[in-house]
Amino acid sequence: MKRSPRRDPPKPSLSEPFQDGDAMFRALFDHAGTGLAITFPDGRFIVVNPALCTMLGYSEKVLLDLRLESIIAPNQWDRLWELFQAILAGKRSHAQLTLECRHQSGKAVRGLLNLSMVPDKAGDARYLIVQIQDVSSLIRTETELEESRQRYRALSDATFEAVFISKKGICIDANRTASTMFETPREELIGIFGTDVIAPEYKSRVKDNILSGYEDPYHVVAVKKDGTRFHVMIHGKMIRIGGSEVRVTVLRDIDAQVTAEGALRESERHLRSLMESASNFVLFRLRYNPDNPCQPKRILISPSIAEIVDRTQVIDFQSWLKVIHPDDREVLLAAGQKMLDTYRLDETIRILDPAGNGWRWLHIISVAVSDETDNSLFFNGIILDITREMEATAALKARENELKERTESLSEVNTALEVLLRKREADRMEVEEKMLSNAKSLILPYLEKLNASRMDARQRVYLNLVESNLNEIISPLSRRMSRHYLNFTPLEIQVANLVKQGKATKDIALILGLSTRTIEAVRYTIRRKLGIKKKRSNLRSYLLSIDGADTIPGGSGWIR
């Protein structure tokens, strides 16, 4: 409120505001439970009652030196100022608003303020009557009540169960989960009868339970807005709210649970059928006995156990040990002890055949499973008769050993054959060397003598042919060519041998009875096959250079 620049007039005497009243008004003012004050239009306090002083924590003397603006929170003074201006302008006779006052300690005090004007004879504002009621506790109570209401609603909406509140069977409230569960707006659920969301075959039962106040949980089938059926568990209880008896009903969706239980029952039925029809294998379930670890309690075992052991003789774990092969008993006991740590057993053992046919092989696989409800330990497993497999494995192993022995025997035979082949090759080479030596010592000298004698041209040609063919037989080059098939034709071999002997093309043509052009073509082919077609190598020199080599070059490289 704006302050007047002129000097404040002196305060009137304390009795002046009450000059038209009486002692009763004064007593009412002083002893009122509501804070009362009379101020000038500029907000200066003239009179304050004890209730206002107590509310704001000021003494009367201190409070009278203040203005109304001093006890109002700064951020709320503008609201009061607007109302005050409206009263002064004659637009309002009084004003009421809830605002925040300031206690002397600085804390906030919520108050309900009533402001009215006392006019003078001219109708202008002479005094302001201010009433402030402390509503902090009331607002706090309302706030707490609203918070409690919101917590209840949040708790109700957050629960996974549908909650209905009904009176005489009629729904008067429902939580958000109920709306979601039945796919129906909450407004549409309010006003329905409790059986409207229940399947027809269960309606009479639900109605009777509602009217009788039945409080134990029970299972029915509910129906959604679109007609979808699902299983629910209903639990109702009568309580009092606001003096009236109402029924709180909780519906829990157990459709998945019912489906799972049905599947479990079906699975158990199949498992029972499997156990009863088992052949060549045994299913079992044992309970661990901590007081006697070597004597677990039998929960169930398939009838096919009779195919493996004589049940009249094998009645407990100790009798089982008696029919187990001596070499396997300690192995099985150690595996069973280890199973308490690893929760798994996988062993192969031998037991006596009840028919007296020696030993039977069994493969035992078991897994330990703990029950969380009572910390019990169960052994679930299977026993497989693998006698045939083990016998087949033994037969296969014997066959492998026999095959290994035969392989070793064949290896020894191969070694002996290799020795014989090397001996035969050596003998052959020795024979060839003897033949070569005999040809050089017994034939070539006579050919040289014959060549030195007088002969006509034809005889000399034949002599040259004999000499050439003989050289072809004994020549290492000819033998290598014949042995390794160098793609040389017989004519090419003859020409190559004559070239190697130094015969010219004309002489070779005369010796072989062919034209010189044919001999030139053969020489060209030989050069091509030897890979020297585009080289300036002399054919005779090249043939002589490879005469003692281990390999001879071919058209696509060197040929061994």
> Residue 187 and residue 169: Cα distance in Å, rounded?
17
Tell me the range of 150-164, 282-296, 503-517 where mean pLDDT is highest.
Answer: 503-517
427 lies in the same domain as 453: no
In a domain, 152, yes or no: no
377 lies in the same domain as 415: no
In a domain, 263, yes or no: no
Per-residue pLDDT of 359-411, as tens digits, reads 888 898 989 888 766 677 888 888 888 888 888 998 999 999 999 988 888 88
pLDDT at 77: 85
- Residue range 308-325: mean pLDDT, rounded: 73
pTM (predicted TM-score): 0.38
Q: What is the chain's mean pLDDT, rounded? A: 81
Tally of structural domains, the chain: 5
pLDDT at 489: 82
> Which domain range does residue 51 map to?
16-140
In a domain, 89, yes or no: yes
pLDDT at 148: 63
* Rounded (5°) CA angle 263-267-271: 170
485 lies in the same domain as 455: yes
In a domain, 392, yes or no: no
Asked which of 258, 287, 317 is the last residue of a domain, the reply is: 258
Per-residue pLDDT of 89-123, as tens digits, reads 778 878 888 888 888 888 888 888 888 888 878 77
Cβ-based neighbours of 295, under 8 Å, separated by 6 or more: 289, 316, 317, 318
Instruction: Yes or no: say if 181 and 200 are a contact pair by the CB < 8 Å rule.
Output: no
In a domain, 420, yes or no: yes
- Structure tokens belonging to residue 242: 């606001």
Q: What is the DSSP string of 260-289?
A: HHHHHHHHHHHHHHHHHT--SEEEEEEE--
Per-residue pLDDT of 27-44, as tens digits, reads 778 878 788 898 888 888
Instruction: Yes or no: say if 245 and 259 are a contact pair by the CB < 8 Å rule.
Output: no
299 lies in the same domain as 330: yes
Per-residue pLDDT of 471-521, as tens digits, reads 767 665 445 444 433 577 878 888 888 888 888 999 888 888 899 999 999
Can you give 47-115 as a three-state secondary structure string? EECHHHHHHHCCCHHHHHCCEHHHHECHHHHHHHHHHHHHHHCCCCCEEEEEEEEECCCCCEEEEEEEE
20 lies in the same domain as 136: yes
pLDDT at 486: 52
In a domain, 360, yes or no: yes
> Which range is least confidently modeled, 256-260, 294-298, 312-316?
312-316
Instruction: Yes or no: say if 296 and 287 are a contact pair by the CB < 8 Å rule.
Output: yes
Return the number of other C-beta atoms located less than 10 Å from residue 309's C-beta. 20
Return the number of other C-beta atoms located less than 10 Å from residue 494's C-beta. 21
437 lies in the same domain as 478: no
> Which range is least confidently modeled, 54-68, 138-152, 311-325, 475-489?
475-489
24 lies in the same domain as 79: yes
> Residue 12 and residue 226: Cα distance in Å, rounded?
80
289 lies in the same domain as 328: yes
Cβ-based neighbours of 550, under 8 Å, separated by 6 or more: 560
CATH of the domain at 205: 3.30.450.20
In a domain, 391, yes or no: no
Does the pLDDT value for residue 308 go beyond 60? yes
30 lies in the same domain as 58: yes
pLDDT at 228: 93
In a domain, 302, yes or no: yes
Asked which of 410, 426, 442 is the last residue of a domain, the reply is: 442
Predicted confidence band of residue 16 (pLDDT cuts 50, 70, 90): low
Strand spans (E) along 142-227: 162-167, 170-174, 218-223
CA trace torsion 405, 406, 408, 409 (10° rounding): 120
528 lies in the same domain as 469: yes
pLDDT at 559: 35
Does the pLDDT value for residue 10 go beyond 70? no
Please tell me what DSSP assigns to residue 190: T
50 lies in the same domain as 133: yes
> Residue 436 and residue 102: Cα distance in Å, rounded?
141
99 lies in the same domain as 171: no
What residues pair up with 131 in beta bridges, in sequence order?
A: 36, 114
